Every structure is written in structure tokens, then in C-alpha cells.
Chain A
Amino acid sequence: MKRLLEIISKTGIYRSTTSAQTGRFALMALCFAVVFAVVAGRLASFGFMATGGGDNLEALPVSTALHRPTMVDRKGRILATDIQAASLYADPQSITDLDDVVDQLSNVMPHLNTKALLRRLRGGGRFAWIERELSPRQQADIHELGLPGVAFVDEHHRVYPAGRTAAHVLGFVDIDNLGLAGMERYIDRSLNMMMVSSGARQASEPKIELSIDLGVQHALREELEDAIKRYQAQAAMGLVMDVMSGEVLAISSLPDFDPNQRSQAQDKGRFNRLTAGLFEMGSVFKIFTTAAALDLGVAGMESKYDATEPIRIASFTIKDFHAQRRWLTVPEIFTYSSNIGTAKLALDIGIARHKAFLSKLGMLQRIETELGETAHPIVPANWQKINTMTIAFGHGLSVTPLHVAAGAAALMNGGYEVTPTFLKKKPGRVPYAERVVSERTSKQMRGLMRLNVESGTARQADAKGFRVGGKTGTAEKVVNGRYSRDQLLTSFIGVFPADEPKYVILVMLDEPQRVEETQNRATAGVNAAPTARRFIERAATLLGVSHRSQTSQEFDELISASY
């Protein structure tokens, strides 16, 4: 240090070397030393610090499409999941000979539209898709070509392993993995379920559990397909719902589509008729009229109504299909499916109360589900006496089949409102559900439904041992403004087991024909009802309904009391 000072003093900067000056200089040097030490220490600490793995860019594969959560059925079977697929893109400006590149590519991918591709590549810009979602084989072949200016990017590609089985619930996605319909759209709308394209798969990925049971869904779809063949119907619909929670275990509307094939999904005829189709449901609507009459105390089980003569009102004539031409009790009106009797029941209820009851059951409003809103029921603008009389037996009010299933579930489950859902719920009744009819009415309605299967129009729905209850309905479709005698819409709404209700089932056939198997008849009792029976026999055990040869004694008494 001393030597250093000597050298400095010799340079002549410091003319005199007083002790005070030396001290000042030493202080300066010390300051510099400290600052340099800090810098050196900081450098060393940078060296020791590990660069965090989280923000390491190398670990993130490039990915453009959104990553969607996996959907599973209520038993954990995969219904929709993401897999990786490579997509090919080009940077046109770094390609010298566009024609040659396109030519070579079309050798590997013969289906390629070369003209459109060339136009895209010549359109300027530095990015153009060539082909999305390549197969691994194609990717390898293109890689082999070693073309400059084209490159791959990994994308998420949505697959539906079960194919068309549950198509209408799942919906489908577009090429960018955005949900366009069904539960896929629901996932997009509830933002918290979307995972931003982080590429790297997380260890514990959230799964969306649907209410659907794949096995039951398959059985329902198969039976409906079989019914279309047997009865030469145009379309078929079916729905199975838990009466307590409103969970839809199976829903099928044929014709349907394969969600793996996007182009097919947007076909007009393949829409979900159960939520988007509006129908005059016909006689199945009588369950609501009868329940209203019983619940409001307008009629009892032993009340009698005159069904001897058709009712003439305005230009309408209300007739019975299974005309008895005598006075009928309420259970008889139900099992003979008497239009006259039901219309008179509705008149006794009164227009205002009838309307209020249907509204309370949700028949006059849209239903909000995860699949989106249902179609809005077509309610008469000016609800007159004639409307109440015809709506009583299911004409003059168009609702979706889902409305009927939800309403029936409420009547069957002890009288609590049911909101249909496609997500898995904890078992049991929704705790805050509102009561729509009394426990007693619900029991009576179950009795009537069972009675109708034992000895009424729905006899062919009797799946032995599963204690089915139900009501059939045959509605004439409106063709060119008139009710057609040949174009029918037949339906069956059922509950099983009727003595301890677990599920409601709805089966509908659009324009079933008079075929040999049904002795040239086409009413619901010979097509919709047996379809429901075949399904229940096949799926009841899957649904955990135990087989018992008889209904409980208490329930038998209830039924025999209604004779």
C-alpha cells in the first residue's frame, strides 16, 4: 500500500504527501474496495442461484389449441379427452419454390386441396396452416421430405372414444378445440374449467363427471335404434332421469351424430329433439291434469265423470279413442285414457288454477340446463276454456320432452320440483327443492301409473319384476295445419319401480308405422310401451333396481283401493 502511494505521489498529482492527504486517499480506496466486493459477491450469488424450473422456457412445448378437461361418465369411464396431434404450417416467405413444396406435400397427403393451399400461401403473411391434426404416419412422411419453410406444431385434439353413444350430451368442438355444443360448450362458458394452453399435462387434471351412465346410455340407444327398425319410425327419443336428483342417466335422440366427425354434427336433422324439439305430447299430459285435480281436491279417486257422449265446443269435438260410453271414475279415466273425462276434470279445476299448476310444474317456461336452455314452450296467447280442455289431454300446448320428464319426476318423487342436470350429483333429493304436489297426490299418481301398466293402455310396458308404472300417449302430428291420422307421435312416460320410485323413463317415436308386429296398429301402447319394457328389462339391474315379483303390500292396497 505504501509503495502504491509512493508511485502515485511521484506522478505529481499530489504535490505534497501530508498524513491528512494519505488518510483521505486510504478512505477512498476502501470505499472502492467495498463496492467491488459487493459486485463480486452479487455475481457469485447469481452463480449459485438455481434458475427455477417453473419459468424454464425449454420445458414448454409449443401448443396453440386449448387444453380441455377430460369428461367421464358417472362411473369414471372416459367420454371425451384430449390427445396430442401434430399440425403442419408454413412460413411462405422462406419457401423459394411454392409449387414444388405443395406438389411434394400432396404426394404424402393426396386429399390436399392444392389450389386452395397455393392461394393461402401466396396470400402473404408469414404464417399459414397447411393441414391440422396429422396422423403420426403423415407427420413422419412429411418430416422425411425435409422441406424448408414448413414446420410442425403440437396441438390438442379432442377425441370421443365412445363415438356416437352419448353424442348429444357431449356436443363437439371446432378445430381450435372450442366447445360448440353440449357439455363442451358448457365447459367453455364456465371459464374456471378451462385450462390455458400450458401444454404440459398436470398430474392431477380436473375431470368433469357427467350424470350419464355409459352402459345405460348404450342400452337406451340400442333399444331406440331397434324400435326405429321394428316400427319404421322417422326418429326416436329416450330419456332416463333420477326422480330425486334430476340427474339424466341416459338421453338419446335418433338420428344422432358422431362427435368425432365435425361436419356430421351440424346436420339439421340430427338436433337433440329432447331439449330443442317442441311437441304436443298427447295423452301423457293427462298425468298432469289428473295430478292437479287430485292435489287441489277437485276430485277424489272415486269421483265419477260422464264420458257417454263426446263434448262439442266451438268447432271442436272431443272424442275418446277407447270410448266406454258411460260414467267413469278417475282411475278409469286414466287407464282408458279418456279425453272426455280428462277435459271435464280440467274444467272442474278451472282455467286459472290449471294454468297455475302447469306453470308450477315448469311446463310454461324454458328449462335451464348445462346443455343450454330448452326451447320455449308454445303457450296459447289467449288461454280460454277450450285451451284448458284440450291441454288437459295434451293438445294445444307444445313443450319439449324434457319438460314432461322433469314434470313427471316431480309427481313421482313425493312431490318435489326437479331440475334436470347432466352433471353427477351427490345421491338424494336436492335439499332446497320446492314442493309442487303433496306426498299423498304423489302416492296416488304412482298408484294410477302402476294400475295403467297392470290393466290399462300401457300393459305392454310391464317389465316383470321391475314394477313399472306409466302412461302412454298417441298424438296426431299437425301437417299443413290439420291433425293427421297417419302421422303420429307416440310416447310413453314411465316410472320404475312404482312403489319406491327411482327413475322416470320417457320413450317417444316419431311417425311409427302400422306394421305386422303391432297387428297393424300404431298407437303408443304397441310401440313406445314395449320399447320401454325392453329397455327396462335390459338396464334395470345396471341402474341398481332390484327384481321383485310383487310390489309392496301397502302399495297393492293403494292400487286396489283405486278400483
Chain B
Amino acid sequence: MRIVTFFLATILVALAAVIYQVKYETRSLDNRVASLQRGIAEERDVIAILRAEWSHLNRPARLERLARAHLGLRPIQGNQISTDD
């Protein structure tokens, strides 16, 4: 009887320890998830800024100015187009 009692008490303590550890592991994993999510949100924000900048640098007005200055290109004229119909 005493052995059984002792045995059960040991199991109880062991289980408590396991639960305690698992709980803390979960909490740290939760924190990791949260920090990763924050990181993702931050990355998305940065991507949004980069996209906006990319669009800003690729705006037709700027491209046209650069093409005129560095490539010697001009808007197309009607007489530059021909068709073979």
C-alpha cells in the first residue's frame, strides 16, 4: 500500500514537472511566433516602401526625361511607323 502511494506521488511530481516544462516551452514558442509575425509585418512594410519607390522611379515622366537625356529617344512620330498590308 505504501509502495503504491509512494509510486503515485512520484508520478504526480514527474507529471507536474513535465507540464511545467511544456508550458514554458509553449510560451517561448508563442513569443517566437509573435516576433516572427512582427518581423513579417515589418518586412511587408519595407516591401511596400520599396514597391512605392520602384514605382516612383519608374514613373513615365522620369523615364521619359532619362530616355531623352541619355538615350536620345523621342516620342514616336506617325511617319516612323510602317505596315506591310
A260 to B, closest residue via Cβ: B56
Known: A51-B27, A56-B30, A200-B40. 13 other contacts (CB 8 A): A44-B15, A51-B26, A53-B30, A59-B41, A79-B55, A83-B45, A163-B56, A165-B60, A165-B61, A218-B60, A222-B75, A466-B78, A538-B76
Among A53, A78, A465, the residue within 8 A (CB) of B78 is A465
Among A81, A201, A217, the residue within 8 A (CB) of B52 is A81
Q: How many residues of B contact A (CB 8 A)?
A: 40
Residues of A within 8 A of B (CB): 44, 47-48, 50-51, 53, 56, 58-59, 61, 77-79, 81-84, 159, 161-163, 165, 199-201, 203, 214-215, 217-219, 222, 463-466, 533, 537-538, 541, 546-550
What 0/1 pattern do residues 40 to 63 of B give for CB contact below 8 A with A? Answer: 110011001101111110111100
- How far is B83's CA from A485's CA once the two chains are assembled, in angstroms? 44
- A200 near B37 with CB under 8 A, answer yes
Among A59, A79, A533, A546, the residue within 8 A (CB) of B83 is A546
Closest Cβ of chain B to A234, distance in Å, is: 23
- A50 near B26 with CB under 8 A, answer yes
Given A81-B51, A81-B52, A163-B59, A47 contacting B41 (CB threshold 8 A): no
- How far is B61's CA from A83's CA once the two chains are assembled, in angstroms? 22
A72 to B, closest residue via Cβ: B55
- B64 near A48 with CB under 8 A, answer no
Chain A residues near B54 (CB-CB < 8 A): 78, 161
- B56 near A537 with CB under 8 A, answer no
Among A50, A83, A214, A463, the residue within 8 A (CB) of B49 is A83
Chain A residues near B55 (CB-CB < 8 A): 77-79, 81, 161-162
- How far is B40's CA from A215's CA once the two chains are assembled, in angstroms? 33
- B60 near A58 with CB under 8 A, answer no
Closest Cβ of chain A to B53, distance in Å, is: 8
A536 to B, closest residue via Cβ: B78
Given A83-B52, A159-B52, A548-B83, A53 contacting B33 (CB threshold 8 A): yes
Chain A residues near B13 (CB-CB < 8 A): none
Chain B residues near A44 (CB-CB < 8 A): 15, 19
Given A47-B19, A47-B20, A163-B61, A547 contacting B82 (CB threshold 8 A): yes
Chain A residues near B49 (CB-CB < 8 A): 83-84
- A56 near B41 with CB under 8 A, answer no
Could you name 27 residue pairs across A and B whose Cβ atoms are closer than 8 Å?
A47-B23, A48-B19, A48-B23, A50-B29, A56-B34, A58-B38, A59-B33, A59-B34, A59-B37, A59-B38, A83-B48, A84-B45, A159-B52, A159-B56, A161-B53, A163-B61, A165-B61, A201-B44, A214-B59, A218-B64, A219-B75, A537-B76, A538-B76, A541-B81, A547-B83, A548-B85, A550-B85
- B60 near A547 with CB under 8 A, answer no
Among A159, A165, A200, A537, the residue within 8 A (CB) of B41 is A200
Chain B residues near A203 (CB-CB < 8 A): 44
- A82 near B81 with CB under 8 A, answer no
- B45 near A537 with CB under 8 A, answer no
Chain A residues near B59 (CB-CB < 8 A): 161-163, 165, 214, 218
A2 to B, closest residue via Cβ: B1
- How far is B40's CA from A199's CA once the two chains are assembled, in angstroms? 12
Closest Cβ of chain A to B85, distance in Å, is: 5
Chain B residues near A84 (CB-CB < 8 A): 45, 48-49
Among B19, B22, B83, the residue within 8 A (CB) of A465 is B83
Interface centre among B20, B27, B29, B33 (most CB of A within 10 A): B33
- How far is B20's CA from A47's CA once the two chains are assembled, in angstroms? 7
